[in-house]
Structure 1
Amino acid sequence: MKAALYDRHGGVEELYLGEVPTPEPASGEALIRIRACALNGFDPMMLGGTTGLRVPLPMTPCGDAAGEIAALGPETEAVGWEVGERVMIDPLLEGRGMLGEKAPGAASEYLSIPLGNLVRMPANVSFEQAAALPVAYGTALRMIEDRARVEPDETVLVLGATGGVGSCCVQLCKRIGARVIATGGSTRKRELLRALGADHALPSRSVELVRQVREIAGRPRYHDPDAGGVDVVINYIGGSTWAACLKVLRYQGRMVTCGATAGYDPPTDIRYIWSFEQSIIGSDGWSGEGLIRLLDMVAAGELDPVIHAVRPIGRIREAMRELMAREVFGKSILTP
């Protein structure tokens, strides 16, 4: 079968389309014919070898995928799954790690997956939509609903809102009834954020971020929950944005993080955390129940995953280069 591969760490020039043996599903597994897969922010880091993880080489990128059951492993015919069923894949394999990190990813024609990692797809959800969901949208859903617990009429600041996680955060917050301030790196991306529902769109790299957010949401006041400031900050950027966000968070506001793309050890200002009684909340990954909820939202027309482009896996260099250059708005989809 064909698969996108890299044999060593480096830039996009290390990616190529090669031939590998079609996997055979073991007992308790299904062979999935991949119909669509998606790149995530960790794929360039895995390719570049910058994560510190030991990556088994050769590696195939892409953790997210959807497809059809092509075959079942031995002694798995009577567990409720049938050949031909449409499924989305939960990319975290118990005991084996993440697809595209420790286990071969989904940018291939076929993939063997444990039955416990399969999620049935509603008939009116496309393979491309389903492939956009697990890592980014699953992470966003858990941050918004389970960890930050965003409520109607709250004001939420979403940093780096133009990627998969961020664009979903904007959609979910608006679905709840919150007011959204989002940041984007270009005029075009900010226009797209407004079209997605953001009430305000600010430049990502602005040194005036604190002033601009305070102009919109007001200035936080010590021990005054009714004064200005944003109720929630979604910050998986880190770096120089960390301390700035503490200055726009209202009294007893909360900041939730699921990553640190611009640096994991930023300068901070603990005075704001104690004096304004702010909550710093971590959020790691997604839940299986959340993936089912996302599919149901898409099927009901309540959520439409933002898809930047759909390309064949043979053009993975182009897709990866675009992702590394921060030119992607939403999710970049590949099809075998």
Structure 2
Amino acid sequence: MRAVVLREHGGIEKLKYEASFPDPEIGEGDVLLRVRATSLNYHDVFTRRGMPGIKIPFPVIIGLDVAGEIVKVGPGVGDWKVGDRVLVDPLNRIEGGLMGETMNGGLAELCKARAHQLFRIPDNVSFEQAAALPVAYGTAYRMMTEIGQVKRGEKVLILGASGGVGVCCVQLAKIAGAYVIACAGTAEKGERLKALGADEVILYTQEDFLQVIRQRHGRPQRNRSMPDNGGVDVVVNFTGGDTWVKSLRALKLGGRILTCGATAGYDPAEDLRVIWTFELQVRGSNGWERSDISRLFELVSSGKLKALIDNVYPLEQAGEAMRVLEGRQVFGKIVVAP
């Protein structure tokens, strides 16, 4: 089969397109999929580069989010049949493992998965939309709803709002009835975020987002009795790096910061004084549950939530797709369609 293979860690050049990689062999409880769409995530970038403490079994086919059609079922698989349209939960929640990392993922014509990892794709949801959901949208859903508990009337500042997680956070905050302030790197992305529902946009490449928040929404106050306690209720920050302390300082008294990643650095400077002085809450969110994916399918199928696809690349151009993702030249999700 055709596949994009990683045989060692390094730059994008380490992703090699191979025309005759061995087909997967399935066994008890397995299904074989013809891959129709795989969306890329920043986790795929980290897998390619190499992550401390995580050993990758080379050669590996990356790509966590996989959607396709079943072409073969193994012994003991009773709930699925050839031709079913399915999405794979990247996490093997029974035996352990992660698609595109410890198991071969979706950057190939064929992919093996365990039957218990599958979701049925609704008829009115495309393969590309389905592939956009698990890692980015699933992570955003859990962070905004279960962990963050974003509520009607709250002011929510979202950093990295134009990426896969970010565009879902914007939509979920609006569904909850919040006032959304989205950070974007370009005016074009800003306009697209407004079209998506953002109430305000801050172009972080042109202005300091903390200063803008203070100018537009006031400075946080330590006195709860003050009628207008400035700042925002929630900051969504999955970038880390030098945005962390500024994010804390943008929060009002009792505000909460939500994090599910650290794409710009996992060991930022910290100012504990801000946390205790303003009684802030730091809430971490890690991944998604199967119920989150089911709820996302309901929202997309009903039209309440858009699975935004920036571009679809053929398998031969998977390296270019990753370059665009890594360069943050994306609005929504990047998909590879073998």
**What is the TM-score with the length of structure 2 in the denominator?**
0.95
Residue in structure 1 matched with residue 216 of structure 2 by the alignment: 216
Asked if the contact 1:45–1:51 (Cα under 8 Å) also holds between the matched residues in 2, the reply is no
Asked if the contact 2:61–2:100 (Cα under 8 Å) also holds between the matched residues in 1, the reply is yes
Deviation at 1:223, TM superposition (A): 3.4
Residue in structure 1 matched with residue 278 of structure 2 by the alignment: 276
Residue in structure 2 matched with residue 204 of structure 1 by the alignment: 204
Asked if the contact 1:229–1:250 (Cα under 8 Å) also holds between the matched residues in 2, the reply is yes
Of the three residues 228, 237, 240, the one matched with 1:238 is 240
Residue in structure 2 matched with residue 129 of structure 1 by the alignment: 129
Asked if the contact 1:160–1:204 (Cα under 8 Å) also holds between the matched residues in 2, the reply is no
Deviation at 1:224, TM superposition (A): 2.1
Asked if the contact 1:156–1:230 (Cα under 8 Å) also holds between the matched residues in 2, the reply is yes
CA distance in 2: counterparts of 1:262 and 1:311, whole angstroms: 26
Asked if the contact 1:38–1:331 (Cα under 8 Å) also holds between the matched residues in 2, the reply is yes
Deviation track 1:8-63 (CA, whole Å, cap 9, x = no partner) reads 22222222221222212221121111111111011122212255522111121210
Code of the residue aligned with 2:84 in structure 1: it is E
CA distance in 1: counterparts of 2:41 and 2:52, whole angstroms: 14
Residue in structure 2 matched with residue 83 of structure 1 by the alignment: 82
Residue in structure 2 matched with residue 228 of structure 1 by the alignment: 230
Is the partner of 2:35 in helix, strand or coil?
Answer: strand
Change (3 A) 1:254 1:2: same
In the alignment, is residue 16 of structure 1 matched against residue 13 of structure 2? no
Asked if the contact 1:184–1:203 (Cα under 8 Å) also holds between the matched residues in 2, the reply is yes
Deviation at 1:122, TM superposition (A): 0.8
Residue in structure 2 matched with residue 315 of structure 1 by the alignment: 317
Structure 1 residues without counterparts, runs of 5 or longer: none
CA distance in 1: counterparts of 2:204 and 2:98, whole angstroms: 30
* More displaced 10-residue stretch of structure 1: 272-281 or 188-197: 188-197
Code of the residue aligned with 1:255 in structure 2: it is I
- Backbone CA RMSD of aligned residues: 1.5
Asked if the contact 2:12–2:323 (Cα under 8 Å) also holds between the matched residues in 1, the reply is yes
- Structure-to-structure mapping, 1:1-336, within 5 angstroms: 1-18=1-18, 19-76=20-77, 79-94=78-93, 95-205=95-205, 208-224=208-224, 226-336=228-338
Asked if the contact 2:157–2:234 (Cα under 8 Å) also holds between the matched residues in 1, the reply is yes
CA distance in 2: counterparts of 1:112 and 1:172, whole angstroms: 32
Asked if the contact 1:96–1:103 (Cα under 8 Å) also holds between the matched residues in 2, the reply is no
Is the partner of 2:215 in helix, strand or coil?
Answer: helix
Deviation track 1:305-333 (CA, whole Å, cap 9, x = no partner) reads 11110111111111111112111111000
Asked if the contact 2:40–2:333 (Cα under 8 Å) also holds between the matched residues in 1, the reply is yes
CA distance in 2: counterparts of 1:50 and 1:284, whole angstroms: 17
Code of the residue aligned with 2:57 in structure 1: it is P
Code of the residue aligned with 1:127 in structure 2: it is F
Asked if the contact 1:6–1:15 (Cα under 8 Å) also holds between the matched residues in 2, the reply is yes
Code of the residue aligned with 1:276 in structure 2: it is F
Is the partner of 1:92 in helix, strand or coil?
Answer: coil
Deviation track 1:228-276 (CA, whole Å, cap 9, x = no partner) reads 2111111111111111111111111111111111111111111221121
CA distance in 1: counterparts of 2:205 and 2:57, whole angstroms: 36
Deviation at 1:205, TM superposition (A): 4.4
CA distance in 2: counterparts of 1:49 and 1:121, whole angstroms: 32
Deviation track 1:132-159 (CA, whole Å, cap 9, x = no partner) reads 0000000000000000000111110111
CA distance in 2: counterparts of 1:205 and 1:288, whole angstroms: 37
Deviation at 1:118, TM superposition (A): 0.3
Query: Number of matched residues?
Result: 334
Asked if the contact 1:252–1:278 (Cα under 8 Å) also holds between the matched residues in 2, the reply is yes
Code of the residue aligned with 2:62 in structure 1: it is P
Deviation at 1:216, TM superposition (A): 2.6
CA distance in 2: counterparts of 1:257 and 1:309, whole angstroms: 26
Deviation at 1:162, TM superposition (A): 1.2
**What is the TM-score with the length of structure 1 in the denominator?**
0.95
